A = this chain, B = another copy of it.
Amino acid sequence: MTQIDDVLAHIDANIDASLARMEALVRFKSISTDAAFKDDCRKAAEWLAASLQDIGFDGSVRETSGHPMVVGHDGDEGEKPGPDVLFYGHYDVQPVDPLELWNSDPFGPAIIEKDGVKMMTGRGTSDDKGQLLTFLEACRAYKAVKGSLPVKVSILLEGEEESGSGSLLPFLEANKSELSKDLALVCDTTMFDPETPAITTMLRGLVGEEITITAADRDLHSGSYGGPAANPIRVLARILADLHDENGRVQIPDFYDGVPELSPEVKAQWDSLPFDGDAFLGNVGLSIPTGETGYSIYEQISARPTCEFNGITGGYTGDGFKTVIASKASAKLSCRLVGQQDPHAIRKNLRAFIKARVPADCSVDFAEHGASPAHSLSPDFAPLKQGAKALQDEWGKAPIPMGMGGSIPIVGEFKSILEMDSLLIGFGLDDDNIHSPNEKYNIESYHRGIRSWARVLAALAE
């Protein structure tokens, strides 16, 4: 019997109440990117602040120029061993379109069983409401059983992670002394597979950009003007087509500056992972990797930078047909960064690349959607070893040190502004459909996620 078996037993005995709280949080339509859901975001923040108070934190809603932050510090003021930690999660979620592909209401969470696996469905169940609650519920159980937490804990919950984290930098700057701790804990990542835990030690950065091409000063009839009048869709298509070569290499000048090649050791380790690239693509109906030639699928998603097109629109897109030449066409694109790639240099070079391809009688406007550098953790970092031991205790397997394709801007900001490293532990799975219709979070991810965090908190104090 370990010293926290009583905490774990309490978690097991109260899992239904934990799930009810997860359902309550998922019900808030906290889509941060769409102004129509501003009030829903605030209500989610208020609910979380009240929950923190309920657990015994001084939880409060803190204003920003965008959606509010939720901050809470453990009320227990005594000296504690181990690092003081700041836990981070985000309560905002992705939009739900296309709505018609959902099998149930994205904001009406339901517990279903599929292929023998129990899961809760709904937008945000995995990304990041269910995940952030694993930590809050671990704290709740710990305090309920032991009266206090083993290390000093503060909590920061953001409401703009899915929309560029515009308020994050100023908020961290303004509250530096309050939020700067010894270590950040982040729960927004995945397991290696349903049986194998993971700690994400490499994380890609992000540059998000929206480009709008304007040709004529009004929409034109393609019969009257077709031929001589510049078509912004044609201009845009050519620019996008130029952004990759035949080998999947991104053509933005100096794009690969600061991209490290993997050491032969790490490459050998990754090649030996039980990761089946064909199955990874096959699972979503694909079979031909489109990343850079010469890199494995695992390398393409975790160690290589990308330039992806996330949206495009222009002209008539409704039912039927309209013989129009649009005045404008636009695309949203994002670059994933690795190693020492500089997000600001990449945005600058991307814009120059595009401008050079816009005809003299057309114009281009740019809109910025977030910038964050990549992140990586040394294998000798003590909390990494402590976290790994805790996960091994819970799952019976050593966690895999993973490279993650996605970006968590906070990790870069924590390092640069608050001068602390982040330990990224999460319980999501590749089939959670985050950012897609029918998002879900397995009940086991939630339950053993809570248990895992209780173990991590205990391990950090050792």
A-to-B contact residues, CB < 8 Å: 32-35, 94-95, 97-98, 101, 162-164, 204, 206, 208, 210, 215-231, 233-234, 236-238, 240-242, 244, 248, 277, 280-281, 284-292, 297, 300-301, 304, 306, 308-326, 329, 331-332, 334, 336, 359-362, 369-370, 404-407, 430, 433-437
Contacts and interface: CB of A to CB of B under 8 A. Distances in A.
Given A220-B284, A224-B406, 11 more contacts: A98-B219, A164-B321, A222-B334, A224-B405, A226-B301, A228-B297, A233-B311, A233-B331, A237-B241, A285-B361, A317-B332
Contacts of A289: 227-228
A86 to B, nearest CB: 23
Contact of A227 (B218, B300, B322): B300
Quick one: copies of this chain in the complex? 2
Contacts of A285: 215-218, 361
B229 A290 contact: yes
A311 B316 contact: yes
Nearest to A330: B317
A206 B221 CA distance: 13
Contacts of A221: 406, 434-436
Contacts of A94: 322, 324
A407 B329 CA distance: 24
B301 A224 contact: yes
Nearest to A246: B238
Given A314-B312, A322-B310, A219 B436 contact: yes
A234 B309 contact: yes
26 contacts: A35-B319, A95-B318, A98-B219, A204-B223, A208-B323, A217-B284, A220-B435, A220-B436, A222-B308, A222-B405, A224-B405, A227-B248, A227-B291, A233-B240, A234-B240, A237-B312, A288-B361, A290-B359, A310-B325, A311-B317, A311-B322, A311-B326, A312-B313, A315-B332, A323-B334, A323-B407
